[in-house]
Amino acid sequence: MSAFATTFSDALLMLADFDHIVAEIVVLSLQVSGGAVVLGTLIGLPLGACIAVGRFPGKNALSVLINGMMGLPSVVVGVVVYLLLSRSGPFGGFGLLYTPLAMILAQTLLVVPLMAAIARQVVEDVWQRYAEELQLMRFSWWHSVTTLLYDCRHSLLVAVLAGLGRAMSEVGAVMIVGGNIDRATRVMTTAIALETSKGDLALAIALGIVLIVIILALNAFAFVLRHWAMRRYG
């Protein structure tokens, strides 16, 4: 059997045996990326909607900035968060560096611009159609934002999924602020990078399979949910 096939069969065996190392890494990955996406949703979606609805000087510049930050290099975010959380940094006193919370913060910074940019575009399209009626109904700026977010909720699933995809596949920032510490801050992407460099390709492939299955499953769920919602609400 070739080395490729052997590696794959070993990886599948690890998964079939519910290898506890794999399980721990997967659970931590889901906690970190899930936390970042929850925070990103709470910050990014309202931020995008506020930019879409608001009329203020510099709105276009802010939109360009948010769009530009979608491609923010994760290692740069990692370094910035590292500096903020390191002992000599402004938030060093909290002792967050090399903890899952630091990884959540770094990933949140990565997903917020992405989610805000998508939300701004989605909400702005709807706002252009609804603006006159909401204005006539004397909706406040905040009422308009919440109403539009509610109306766009199914389309905004795309933003959430994009954020989740970015968070789960990201490696640079979590490696820097998490340190890839075994059983503490090791997530799927950093573990894959480490195990590959060590030559333990079976574990790397096993984690890769789990990562892809999770992302596909979430996308399939979102696809079904969106189709159901389109049938139900038009």
Partner 1 sequence: MAIFPLRIRDLRYQPNGREVLAGIDLDLGDEGITLVLGPNGAGKSVLLRVICGLLEPGSGSMVWGDEGACRPAQGVMMVFQRPMMLRASVLHNVALGLKPFGLSAAERKRRSLTMLERVGLADRAQDSARQLSGGEQQRLALARAWLTKPRLLLLDEPTASLDPSASAEVERIVREIRTDGTRILMVTHNLGQATRLGDDIVFMSGGRVREHTPVQRFFSRPQSDEARLFIQGELPWRMRL
**Cα separation values, 175 from 20, 46, 111, 158, Å:** 22, 29, 16, 27
**Interface with partner 1, residue 154, by CB under 8 A:** yes
Minimum CB distance to partner 1, residue 147 (Å): 7
**Interface with partner 1, residue 57, by CB under 8 A:** no
The pair of structure tokens assigned to 55 is 């009329």
Residues within window 69-108 making contact with partner 1, judged by CB under 8 A: none
Other C-beta atoms closer than 10 Å to the C-beta of 229 total: 14
**Interface with partner 1, residue 225, by CB under 8 A:** no
**Cα separation values, 42 from 75, 108, 119, 135, 228, Å:** 24, 10, 12, 25, 24
48 contacts 118 by C-beta, under 8 angstroms: yes
**Interface with partner 1, residue 232, by CB under 8 A:** yes
Among 5, 20, 133, 197, binds partner 1 (CB under 8 A): 133
Cα–Cα distance for residue pair 136/92, rounded to 1 Å: 50
**Interface with partner 1, residue 138, by CB under 8 A:** yes
Cα–Cα distance for residue pair 210/197, rounded to 1 Å: 19
Listed residue (70, 79, 77, 61) closest to 111, CA to CA:
70
- Binding window for partner 1 (CB under 8 A); candidates: 59-67, 75-83, 142-150, 191-199: 142-150
Residue for token pair 């996308």: 219
Number of residues in contact with partner 1 under rule CB under 8 A: 21
**Interface with partner 1, residue 16, by CB under 8 A:** no
**Interface with partner 1, residue 10, by CB under 8 A:** no
Minimum CB distance to partner 1, residue 151 (Å): 5
- Binding window for partner 1 (CB under 8 A); candidates: 52-60, 81-89, 149-157, 193-201: 149-157
Among 74, 147, 185, 190, binds partner 1 (CB under 8 A): 147
Q: Smaller CB distance to partner 1: residue 79 or 229?
A: 229
**Cα separation values, 1 from 86, 198, 209, Å:** 48, 22, 21
Site for partner 1, rule CB under 8 A: 129-130, 132-140, 143, 147, 150-151, 153-154, 229, 232-234
